[in-house]
Amino acid sequence: MKFPIYLDNHATTPMDPRVLESMLPYFTEKFGNAASRNHAFGWEAEEGVETARKQIAKLIHADAKEIVFTSGATESNNLALKGVVEMYHEKGDHIITSSTEHRAVLDTAKTLETKRGVKVTYLPVDKFGMVNPEDVRNAITDKTILISVMFANNEIGTINPIKEIGKIAKEKGILFHCDATQGVGKVPINVQEMGIDLMSFSAHKIYGPKGIGALYVRKKNPRVRIAAQMDGGGHERGMRSGTLPVPLIVGFGKACELCEQEMAADAARLSVMRDRLHATITKALEEVYLNGHPTERLPHNLNISFAYVEGESLLMGCKEIALSSGSACTSATLEPSYVLRALGVGAELAHSSIRFGLGRFTLDEEVDYAAKKIIETVTKLREMSPLYEMAKEGIDLKTVQWAAH
Amino acid sequence: MAYSEKVVDHFNNPRNMGSFKKEEDGVGTGIVGAPECGDVMKLQIKVQNDTIVDAKFKTFGCGSAIASSSLATEWLKGKTVEEAGKIKNTDIVQELNLPPVKIHCSVLAEDAIKAALADYQKKADPK
């Protein structure tokens, strides 16, 4: 077993060696500009890009012409929201999203509120982190131009009822954008069946390179139009100018092809591994709480809170394992996870949360080691915790008069 | 963010971790912080003839909070009550090389010392 162990696959994934191999020729001998129409270098590069476009489209059941390359999912989210608002501002000024979206959607929505006077409804989620499609329906007004709901949450892995939301959007004739960064390549996604009009995703979450993402933009029923946010040579059907990073795109394509072939097997293997990790921990430790949906969640995600133990100290005690926490001490804002807070998880348990993200290259023995180490560290830190001591003495921590600081 | 060697050392080998009985003679207990803020420190001193002969802590919080309280117990031992009252959070920041975002951990440790001293004095001299 090699250390440190990587269990933070929601943040990013290692690149699959097969992806790297596919990219290499495009850095050196096949270095052409895909927009060069008059020589073989350009044609060769364009061929690489078009093959990738097909591979990517196939994974999500779209047409290759509906894929717009961007620098990543953050840019795709910006382009979708800002592009739709700018293009359809005469139709209305209201968008609907949810409170547990990634910051790339929430902050874009905030910018649209302050700079363009757009009205934004932030839908609440249930205790599992799920958006209720009926809440979407009830939030729609005659000014609504866009619904943006994420496919699966990056912290808790809860998968939203996308198909139901897509159906409502179609019924009402409103565009539906989905940030599927965590879902693409992990679970089957079909933009036709799910009624998705715009969809953001990126390569580095699916064992591809960093710096490349895509926005799926539906071409018919309805034909979606977005205002470009980057002016220039008119690449990507005028929606996103800039010379295409051919090696990254080729790698993105290969990564999608591999996901299409291996997704089902990966998901089956990782969910068994994840469930074993969860079971081992809950068997050994009391007061461990699952965050997110018990069944409707990404197969490789586990997010749990360990009562009486602060998350950052837990990570520090398990420093040979790469994990992530919802603790404020691990964030720049000094606030605990807004996603967990939106679920109604108390601040003290949000501070105590740990996210495990398994991946294609995670080994059984790594997960077993992680379980053992987590159990040891939680036990040690609880011995050190005044809260655990008080709870053991039978004191109800909720009745204690704390001096908040 | 990397931790300083001293923080890591206190975290891995906490000094004086544990509890005294609160009712015990000469014991002062300070509990500061709040669970929803992500840190709670319990610091206890045992005083004989105006000198702190022993100190213990328990902390719920990040590594820097644990290290700050562990260090505080080390410093408290052997000090008189008056000397103990002069320990400043800035001394802790310096000793542990805490980054700006972790200064509140040292403030909490100073508050815990003050609270433990106040509790001891209240018990010793109930008016």
Taking CA atoms, A91 is separated from A94, A136, A141, A144, A147, in Å, by 9, 19, 12, 8, 14
The minimal CB distance from A397 to the residues B35, B39, B41 is found for: B35
Rounded Cα distance, A208 and A385, in Å: 42
Rounded Cα distance, A237 and A240, in Å: 7
Beta pairing partners, B20: none
Q: A349: nearest CA in chain B?
A: B36
Rounded Cα distance, A346 and A126, in Å: 14
Compute φ and ψ for A217, nearest 5 degrees.
-125, 110
Q: What is the pLDDT of residue A331?
A: 63
Rounded Cα distance, A189 and A239, in Å: 23
Q: What is the pLDDT of residue B127?
A: 67
Q: A332: nearest CA in chain B?
A: B101
Mean pLDDT of B90-100: 95
Rounded Cα distance, B107 and B94, in Å: 12
Is pLDDT of B2 > 90? Answer: no
Compute φ and ψ for A257, nearest 5 degrees.
-60, -45
Minimum distance, in Å, between the CA of residue A102 and any CA atom of chain B: 23
Give the ipTM of the model, two decimals please: 0.95
Rounded Cα distance, A329 and A344, in Å: 20
CB contact under 8 A, B35 and A347: yes
Minimum distance, in Å, between the CA of residue A389 and any CA atom of chain B: 9
Q: What is the pLDDT of residue A354?
A: 96
A97-108 pLDDT, tens digit each: 999 999 999 999
pTM here is 0.95
CB-based contact A185:A259 (threshold 8 Å):
yes
What is the per-residue DSSP string for A30-59? T---TT--SSHHHHHHHHHHHHHHHHHHHH
CB-based contact A159:A150 (threshold 8 Å):
no
Mean pLDDT of A375-384: 98
Is pLDDT of A314 > 90? Answer: yes
CB-based contact B36:A404 (threshold 8 Å):
yes
Rounded Cα distance, A287 and A315, in Å: 18
Q: What is the pLDDT of residue A326?
A: 85
B38-83 pLDDT, tens digit each: 999 999 999 999 999 999 999 999 999 999 999 999 999 999 999 9
Minimum distance, in Å, between the CA of residue B108 and any CA atom of chain A: 9
Mean pLDDT of A144-149: 98
Minimum distance, in Å, between the CA of residue B73 and any CA atom of chain A: 14
Beta pairing partners, A325: A354
With a pLDDT cut of 90, the percent of chain A lying above it is: 94
Q: What is the pLDDT of residue A399?
A: 87
CB contact under 8 A, B35 and A348: yes
Tallying the residues shown for chain B, one arrives at: 127
Q: B3: nearest CA in chain A?
A: A316
In a mutational test of the B interface, the residue from A341, A377, A384 whose CB has the highest number of chain B CBs within 10 Å is: A384
Mean pLDDT of A153-180: 98
Residue type for position A119: K
Mean pLDDT for chain A overall: 96
B8-18 pLDDT, tens digit each: 999 999 999 99
Q: What is the pLDDT of residue A134?
A: 98
**pLDDT category of residue A333 using cuts at 50, 70 and 90:** low
Q: Which residues of chain B neighbour A346 with C-beta distances below 8 Å?
A: 36
Mean pLDDT of A400-405: 76
CB-based contact B41:A313 (threshold 8 Å):
no
In a mutational test of the B interface, the residue from A308, A329, A330 whose CB has the highest number of chain B CBs within 10 Å is: A329
E strand segments, chain B:
27-34, 39-48, 51-60
DSSP letter, residue A217:
E
Q: Which residues of chain A neighbour B41 with C-beta distances below 8 Å?
A: 386
The minimal CB distance from A310 to the residues B17, B19, B60 is found for: B60
Q: A312: nearest CA in chain B?
A: B62
B98-119 pLDDT, tens digit each: 999 899 999 999 999 999 999 9
Q: What is the pLDDT of residue A401?
A: 84
In a mutational test of the A interface, the residue from B36, B68, B89 whose CB has the highest number of chain A CBs within 10 Å is: B36
Contacts with B83 (C-beta within 8 Å, 6 or more apart), sequence order: none
What is the per-residue DSSP string for A242-255? S---HHHHHHHHHH
β-pairing, A324-325 vs A288-290, is: unpaired
The minimal CB distance from A385 to the residues B31, B32, B58 is found for: B58
Q: A348: nearest CA in chain B?
A: B36
Q: What is the pLDDT of residue B1?
A: 61
Q: What is the pLDDT of residue A330?
A: 61
CB contact under 8 A, A347 and B36: yes
C-alpha A27: how far from its chain's center?
29
User: What number of H helices and E strands is found in chain A?
Assistant: 12, 13
Place of tokens 């690449």: A235
Contacts with B106 (C-beta within 8 Å, 6 or more apart), sequence order: B68, B89, B90, B92, B93, B96, B98
CB contact under 8 A, A312 and B63: yes
The minimal CB distance from B59 to the residues A317, A348, A386 is found for: A386
Task: Give the lowest-confidence range in A56-60, A289-293, A333-337.
Answer: A333-337
A329 is catalytic: yes
Is pLDDT of A327 > 90? Answer: no
Mean pLDDT of A232-246: 96
Q: What is the pLDDT of residue A332?
A: 63
Biggest CA pair distance of chain A = 80
Q: Which residues of chain B neighbour A373 with C-beta distances below 8 Å?
A: none
Taking CA atoms, B32 is separated from A243, B52, B110, in Å, by 57, 20, 10
Q: What is the pLDDT of residue A398?
A: 86
Task: Give the lowest-confidence range in A46-50, A65-69, A325-329, A365-369.
Answer: A325-329
Rounded Cα distance, A391 and A250, in Å: 56
Give catalytic residue positions of B: 37, 105
CB-based contact A401:B34 (threshold 8 Å):
no
CB contact under 8 A, B65 and A310: yes
Q: Which is higher by pLDDT, A295 or B3?
A: A295
Beta pairing partners, B48: B51
**For residue A311, which of B24, B45, B62 has the smallest C-alpha distance?**
B62
Q: Which residues of chain A neighbour B66 with C-beta distances below 8 Å?
A: 313, 384
CB contact under 8 A, A310 and B38: yes
Q: What is the pLDDT of residue B10?
A: 97
β-pairing, A119-123 vs A94-98, is: parallel
Mean pLDDT of A36-42: 97
Place of tokens 């996308």: A162
Minimum distance, in Å, between the CA of residue A326 and any CA atom of chain B: 11
The minimal CB distance from A405 to the residues B31, B34, B66 is found for: B34
A54-93 pLDDT, tens digit each: 999 999 999 999 999 999 999 999 999 999 999 999 999 9
DSSP letter, residue A65:
G
Rounded Cα distance, A378 and A386, in Å: 14
Q: What is the pLDDT of residue A228?
A: 98
Q: Which helix (H) or strand (E) holds A209?
A: none
CB-based contact B59:A386 (threshold 8 Å):
yes
**For residue A244, which of A217, A218, A211, A219 has the smallest C-alpha distance?**
A211
Q: Which residues of chain B neighbour A348 with C-beta distances below 8 Å?
A: 35-36, 38
CB contact under 8 A, B60 and A308: yes
